[in-house]
Amino acid sequence: MTTSSRPGLTVLMANPRGFCAGVDRAIQIVERALEKYGAPVYVRHEIVHNRFVVDQLRGKGAVFVDELDEIPDPERPVIFSAHGVPKAVPEDAEARRMFYIDATCPLVSKVHREAEQHFAEGREILLIGHAGHPEVIGTMGQLPPGAVQLVETVEDARRIVVKNPDNLSFVTQTTLSIDDTAGIIAVLRERFPAIAVPRKEDICYATTNRQEAVKGVAARCDLVLVLGAPNSSNSNRLVEVALTGGAAAARLVQRAAEIDWSWFEGVTTLGLSAGASAPEVLVEEVIDACRERFEVTVETVSDVRENVVFKLPRVLAS
């Protein structure tokens, strides 16, 4: 029996959570480039969707830009983000005689190659994803305008008009909700039985594992907190998965400082996860903030181990 007047709080740690292999590789690319070439190293867009990570890299000498024409010295390295870029971006870099390093996640690159193969074989291509997301922009930008149609919802799948149902294919964004995407695919396959499907699931292993981990804790939780950025697709999907999985409430926060402690009224069990771009230090920060207010018991749920590692680009490997 505790002598503390603080209420008890059980924290269920969804596992796995946080950094995936693609994010870890992208961050290493920026860090290795800074070590090898010195500062500044330019990065087109956020290397990953996490303000804390971006700020840390900025503090080491990375300079983040929206477009290549913002880079004053074309001889300095420029790195493309983990989400991938349209083909026009490296073409522009080459025209400007820039030295660029591509940090696109290999699993995103796999989707790019799939789309190119479908196009080369004359198929019409549907992309399941979210309009405006950098990964979707990058994937659609691998092919000529109009070659890819975007499908965002089951309703889109029901309404979409294609030229030749017998020569059709689809690919998906890697960070989608597994369940939502399954519903969209089911409609497409019902409408277009001949549709060519990916040889291997496009939704990446890390997205799948993190969603399954959240499902494993959600029904036991009065509240689930997901550490992640508002523009992070996989983090937003974790919040949705928590709610559909039975959590009484679920919130996305970037840091412990963003927590509204009124959310904890009546909460005795908290679920905690982190999107694939959120470092573990932010999870620990939330636990420390909870310990200031509650008698905390931490329980790790699931024992899934991820051992995926992606090689660095050859120019940085040595």
Catalytic residue chosen out of the listed positions 135, 190, 240, 284? 135
Phi and psi angles of residue 277, each rounded to the nearest 5 degrees, phi first: -105, 5
* Closest to 213 measured CA to CA, from 11, 1, 12: 12
Cβ atoms of 131 and 117 within 8 Å: the answer is: no
Distance CA 66, CA 44 (A): 6
Phi and psi angles of residue 7, each rounded to the nearest 5 degrees, phi first: -70, 155
Distance CA 116, CA 200 (A): 16
Phi and psi angles of residue 197, each rounded to the nearest 5 degrees, phi first: -105, 160
Q: How far apart are the first and last CA of the chain?
A: 56
In the block, tokens 């930008």 appear at 141
Handedness of CA 178, 285, 218, 153 (dihedral sign): negative
Instruction: Tell me, yes or no, if 135 is annotated catalytic.
Output: yes
* Closest to 238 measured CA to CA, from 269, 277, 200, 266: 277
Would you tell me how many other CB atoms lie within 10 Å of the CB of residue 239? 21
Distance CA 93, CA 236 (A): 32
Give the DSSP letter of residue 68: G
Distance CA 16, CA 273 (A): 8
Give the DSSP letter of residue 10: E
In the block, tokens 């660095």 appear at 312
Residues with catalytic function: 135
